[in-house]
Structure 1
């Protein structure tokens, strides 16, 4: 089951976006009001897919392709409506009511997705811990809409970060079986702040993709005390950690490499912060991140 999840994640945004486009382009001879409601409903679905779906399983750039397709389809369907006049007949109410429901449902989800970029509560501002590439938030943000698996796991403000290749994918394919096929595997991790190393684990082997180690959720990890907060950086590569508990580190100091140890389906960096046992949000160079956020490394 876990090995098929990347395929499901890849198909999901394409399917959701495709259905909304087909839904809109199939309209014929409706009234202008009817067309407007359908267009709003489809647009709200496209916006939801654009903001919250995991596009990096195929290509991050596809989200912009579907956004452009929506504009084209909306214009095309409006022209059909203009030619068709208002021959909606008795179908007017039957079609408009469900489209209104869909619009309001996805509009609420879209608002939650936008709000995920503006978390409430105390935040810790640190330096982004990765360099020399383009990085992508695979899961994150202060909302169950953008961060569902972390919310279910009790770390609702944590982030999962991968690296994108030139095609906007986080790997060479949808679900490659070689760890080296994932862009972020072996990537150097740098200290996001000045602080003290609190805990370290470096002994667990890296799992093959799709084979998580559920007995050791964090895998190999570092806990860094930064100001009054603890930053957890997890799923690190076996034997790569360069620091020890009690060591003082500076901003930008190499700490380890990204691996695939612990309860993870594929290589990525899991990062989150706590203060006095309570979770707190992270800002990177003053920026709050959510799913589909892209960061250019230094």
Structure 2
């Protein structure tokens, strides 16, 4: 019940709030240009935070651009109304500490997000595990502001990926229970590298959203090893895995389909990599909690939240 309620709040936060602020900027009567400037910066930073930090696959990817277009139109219209006003007057100056605090908060969040768009750590380049041009990253980057996986050291650079339909939504509806309504469900997963299968699980049934199975975090999954690197592809569809432990595979080889198994509230593909010392031979069950997180690039691109490919 909690997840549907949270998803129901998304349109209010990401659409209702910006539209209200756009209306306020457009219709407010400012007495000084400095008051208008503070309000403009405040609203701009809020919209920028929503644009970069929030995921937009739930209510439509195109909306993130339309809302900012509406804001710029409203800002231009309101500026034309205040351009001849006095710049500053101490008696008419309206400034609240609450607004200043929010501006500073948005600046911190945006800077934190900016840090998450890259990393100085050496990256490993792979090929895309999904085909097509409408795949969308809901969690990715090197800071928690863009990627909640950062709370677990071994998954710091993990990615969660969905697929957008023709309208820019990841599903038909806000939070449907029917798996086929999620665009990514059943899509083919391709190996992102050449290597050896060290573990493959295919027996878990696909769950009805938002049910999760926390004791089986990766659900149906595949672990691929290449030298000291281990890559996991998780939450795969029951009965779809085409490889077995010990198989040698090549990059771009079809190996499974996207499902909804394990610790997940809806269909998506999870992928991350860890490096294990060459002299160790860890058991597959321990790989989620061992090794050093490895940042990944795909065809030379470091993927972050709101990236499409």
User: Scaled by the length of structure 2, what TM-score is found?
Assistant: 0.88
Higher strand share: 1
Cα displacement (A) at 1:25: 3.2
Q: CA shift at 1:22, angstroms?
A: 4.2
Counterpart Cα distance in 2 of 1:43 and 1:94: 17
Give distance in 1, aligned partners of 2:81 and 2:89.
13
Give yes or no for contact 1:127–1:284 (8 Å, CA) kept in 2. yes
Q: Is the 8 A contact 1:219 1:261 kept in 2?
A: yes
In structure 2, the partner of 1:65 is 66
1:141 aligns with 2:141: yes
Indicate the residue corresponding to 2:4 in structure 1: 3
What is the RMSD of the two structures over their aligned residues, measured on CA atoms? 2.0
**Post-superposition offset of 1:106:** 1.1
Partner of 2:150: 151
Q: TM-score, normalised by structure 1?
A: 0.91
Report how many aligned residue pairs link the two structures: 293
CA contact (8 A) 1:9 1:54 kept: no
Q: Partner of 1:160 in structure 2? A: 160
Residues 124/41 of structure 1: CA separation in 2 closer, same or farther (3 Å cut): same
Q: Which structure 2 residue ranges, 5 or more long, are not aligned?
A: 277-290
Secondary structure of the residue that 1:69 maps to in structure 2?
helix
Q: How does 1:204-219 map to 2 (within 5 A)?
A: 204-219=204-219
Q: Which residue of 2 aligns with 1:288?
A: 302
The answer (yes or no) to whether the contact 2:33–2:85 under 8 Å persists in 1 is no
Using a 3 Å threshold, how does the CA distance of structure 1 residues 11 and 201 change in structure 2: closer, same or farther? farther
Which ranges of 4 or more aligned residues in structure 1 deviate by more than 6 Å? none
CA contact (8 A) 2:224 2:230 kept: yes
3-state SS, counterpart of residue 101 of structure 1: helix
Moved more, 20-29 or 266-275: 20-29
How far is the alpha carbon of 1:156 from its aligned partner?
Answer: 2.4
Q: 8 Å contact 2:34–2:88 — kept in the other structure? A: no
Report the counterpart of residue 201 of structure 1 in structure 2.
201
* Residue aligning to 1:237: 237
Mapped partners of 1:227, 1:27: distance in 2: 62
Match of 2:288 in 1: none
Match of 1:130? 130
CA distance in 2, matches of 1:29, 1:5: 36
3-state SS in 1 of match to 2:124: strand
Give 1:195 shift: 0.7
1:139 and 1:19 map into 2 onto residues whose CA distance is 28
Over 3 Å counting, the alpha-carbon distance change for 1:117 and 1:87 in structure 2 is closer
- The alpha-carbon deviation at position 38 of structure 1 amounts to 1.9
Deviation for aligned residue 1:84: 4.8
**Structure 1 equivalent of residue 116 of structure 2:** 116
Q: Which residue pairs with 2:285 in the alignment?
A: none
Query: SS state of the match for residue 136, structure 1?
Result: strand
| Deviation of the 1:79 alpha carbon | 2.1
Unpaired segments ≥5 residues, structure 1: none
CA 206–172 in structure 1, closer or farther in 2 if over 3 Å, else same: same
Supply the distance in 1 between the matched residues of 2:173 and 2:260 (Cα, whole angstroms): 17
Which secondary structure does the structure 2 equivalent of 1:55 belong to?
A: coil
Aligned to 1:14: 15
